[in-house]
Amino acid sequence: QVKENQPILLAQCQEVAQNASLMIAQNETVDPEHGRITTRQAQLFSMASTSLDTHWQMNFQY
C-alpha cells in the first residue's frame, strides 16, 4: 500500500497501474466480520520494466 505521504512513489505506482498489460495477478476477498463486510482487493504488477526513483529500486527484487 502506497500512501499520499510518498507523492512521487504514488505517482509512479499509479502510472504502472494504468498499464493493465503489466498486471500479473489480482485477488479479491470478502470477509463478513463483526457485523461488517470487509472487501479487500489486491493487484500485482510486474516492476521489471519500470524505472523507479533510485531510492526505491534497492527495495525491489525482480
- pLDDT tens track for 4-59: 998 988 888 888 888 778 889 999 999 998 889 999 999 888 877 777 777 766 65
What is the pTM (predicted TM-score) of this model? 0.56
Evaluate if residue 60 carries a pLDDT over 70. no
pLDDT for the residue 57: 62
Strands 23-33 and 36-45: antiparallel
- Spatial neighbors of 17 by CB under 8 A, at least 6 apart, are 43, 45
How confident is the model at residue 16, as a pLDDT? 83
The residues pairing with 29 across neighbouring beta strands, listed in sequence order, are 40
Query: What does the chain come to in residues?
Result: 62
- Look up residue 6 and give its three cell numbers: 510518498
Look at residue 2 in the predicted model and tell me its pLDDT. 83
**Are 28 and 6 spatial neighbours (Cβ–Cβ below 8 Å)?**
no
pLDDT of residue 38: 93
DSSP 20: G
